[in-house]
Chain A
Amino acid sequence: MAGKTLYDKLWNAHLVTEREDGSALIYIDRQIIHEVTSPQAFEGLRLAGRQPWRTSASVATIDHNVPTTPFKSAAEIKDETSRIQVQTLQENTKEFGITEFGIGDVRQGIVHVMAPEQGAVVPGMTVVCGDSHTSTNGALACLAHGIGTSEVEHVLATQTLVAKKMKNMRVSVEGDLGPGVTAKDVVLHIIGVIGTAGGTGYALEFAGSAIRSLSMEGRMTVCNMSIEAGARAGMVAVDDVTIDYVKGRPFAPKGADWDKAVEYWRGLVSDNDAVFDEDITIDAADIRPQVSWGTSPEMVISVDANLPDPDAETDDVKRSGMQRAYEYMGLTPGMPVTDIKVDRVFIGSCTNSRIEDLRAAAEVAKGRRKADSVKQVLVVPGSGLVKQQAEKEGLDKIFVEAGFEWREPGCSMCLAMNPDRLEPGEHCASTSNRNFEGRQGNGGRTHLVSPAMAAAAAVAGHFVDIRELEQA
């Protein structure tokens, strides 16, 4: 019998029962909850007179529409819908006895930054959240993916999810990453290669020496954007980096449990003879710093390239998609990427708001200043703890001296549900994950980049090749 993939192992370990129609009930170890997709789920429980199956399985925080300027209570949130959602989560978690890291708690932050940071996600878990970037947590060798509001209620009530098994895909990145090439560039490049639907129906495993060389933060960045490659779940096998990361975190196993856990976790790798339905290998040497130019994450190219020509595209649907993107973005085919001017810069989001990301941005910002033509540079740490750490290292001062704004943790301009947003027509160098029309504000034009590339664009006023900047 052929060996098992990491996903096969995770699936089998969580299978509660299989149903005749091919669907299955899988057990959910951890549910992460935030203010936007949970209110109706809690209300559903209340209406049906149900209690959560296991309250200790859930952990909640606020992130999507909290302001990133300091505030001490929900009453200070101006937007009514946001305020009500934040208050409702407070009430619901209190009523049902679920842990919430709320306003003023240093552990509060973006769901997918907070959970691994707390050790609330450890290898071998199934992790769900009413948010599609839950795949981030797969970096810890977990089966992690987003779910809808009715499923949030289902998990709360039964600790299980009705699911169908996905297919297996492995993307191996082999070799050494060049200078200036980060995890963000790796995943943008992967999406450019396989396309935004390339992973549809698959559980993605990221493998290869270049992935193994990444820190835990970097692996989270890669897994985060699995969904932009079409896959609901992405994951990386357990190794020393994984185990070292988890050790000592508040929710992580301790004492004898720890040793037992490590022994079990070591097995969370794909077997050598495992068969993948799809197996792709990418040469790390081909990856250069990336910039997205269009309105879909697959519309991405290297910073040293010129924008692609739609007329050279043979696929009709793709060609017209490119033409529409050019119109929306206000760009011309053939122009060098480095000629694209930026109006605002956003460094943050569950893709790139961890300490390593802020360090990378600070390294570029240090001793430099934001270009006058750039209206605003927002730096939004992923959690209160990331913020604290950054301040300990003096990164906040570097940013402020460079003319960047140092903010409170939250999703912020990633989706512009709070007051941080783009004006129509503005170009933004953003470390987030979606460049859809209007994502960062009506008419806003998003370019996805790494934290270092974003900081460099802030300084220059247009995109620059980080590799040249570093030599300067």
Chain B
Amino acid sequence: MEKFVRLDGLVAPLDRANVDTDQIIPKQFLKSIKRTGFGPNLFDEWRYLDEGFPGQDNSQRPLNDDFVLNLPRYQGASILLTRRNFGCGSSREHAPWALMDFGFRAIIAPSFADIFYNNCFKNGLLPIVLSEDNVEALFKAVVGKEGFRITIDLENQQVIPEEGEPLAFEIDEFRKHCLLNGLDEIGLTMNEADTIRAYEQRRAEQEPWIFQ
């Protein structure tokens, strides 16, 4: 997993509450054998005017010009600013996969759905909870100024808008540690590689046939 230490990025505002995972990535795209490649179908029903299906050439589809992610000023955004209870609904891990594949590395909202919140950390996507008031202020700032950027300093747990006061956020120590060091569950187990190797050596003496 990629490390997450500090991120300076353009912010896209998605002014909706209760965005569920089926809206993030509709179910017809789950048949894939990959966990990448979902980016073009992120928010599919909102981004395009026609109905999406797997294997389509998305570049040929009619875009919904009103949808925020289609606006030229938000191209290249890596931080998503949104409203409460983001990521509710089905537990599909495809939702964080799609957000990351599109280019987002952090999401700021007043609250997140539980499973989605957990799934984000498994995949190196940082969900940040700020108060309703702070989120509201950020919405105003982002919409008010084209090219508005935010810096996220994970080490010091701060969201630093290009104008205004830094905002502190909470995060579980263990999860912070994993993100800062790029450790997913596999990464964590890998920290015990020596123990695993020592175990293998012991076993190989007793049951050599296992290792042939």
Contacts and interface: CB of A to CB of B under 8 A. Distances in A.
Interface in A52-73: 53-54, 56
Interface stretch (A39-47, A102-110, A168-176, A327-335): A39-47
A253 B35 contact: no
B206 A40 contact: no
A28 B111 CA distance: 39
B149 to A, nearest CB: 27
B196 A27 contact: yes
A16 B195 contact: yes
Nearest to A125: B210
Given A154-B185, A158-B190, A261 B196 contact: no
A122 B209 contact: yes
Nearest to B187: A48
B31 interface: yes
Interface string A76-107: 00001100110010000000000000000000
Interface size class of B (residues with CB under 8 A): 20 to 34
Given A56-B211, A261-B207, A158 B33 contact: no
A50 B35 contact: no
B133 interface: no
A435 interface: no
A252 B1 CA distance: 38
Given A27-B203, A40-B34, A160 B189 contact: yes
Nearest to B31: A81
Most chain A CB atoms below 10 A, which of B1, B34, B35, B186: B186
Contact of B192 (A25, A39, A56): A25
Contacts of B203: 13, 27
Contacts, number: 75
B131 interface: no
Most chain A CB atoms below 10 A, which of B35, B93, B211: B35
A117 interface: no
B186 A48 contact: yes
B212 interface: yes
Contact of A157 (B36, B186, B210, B211): B186
Interface SS majority for chain B: helix
Interface in B155-212: 184-186, 189-190, 192-193, 195-196, 199-200, 203, 206-212
A159 B209 CA distance: 16
Contacts of B186: 48, 50, 153-154, 157-158
A465 interface: no
A17 interface: yes
Contacts of A39: 33-34
A2 to B, nearest CB: 24
B32 to A, nearest CB: 8
A157 B190 contact: yes
Contacts of B1: 48
B116 to A, nearest CB: 16
Contacts of B210: 29, 125
Interface of B: 1, 31, 33-36, 55, 93, 122, 184-186, 189-190, 192-193, 195-196, 199-200, 203, 206-212
Given A80-B55, A154-B186, 11 more contacts: A16-B192, A25-B192, A40-B33, A43-B36, A44-B35, A48-B186, A54-B211, A153-B186, A157-B189, A158-B190, A264-B206
> What 6 A-B pairs have minimum CB-CB distances, sorted nearest first?
A39-B33, A253-B209, A158-B189, A16-B199, A157-B186, A257-B209
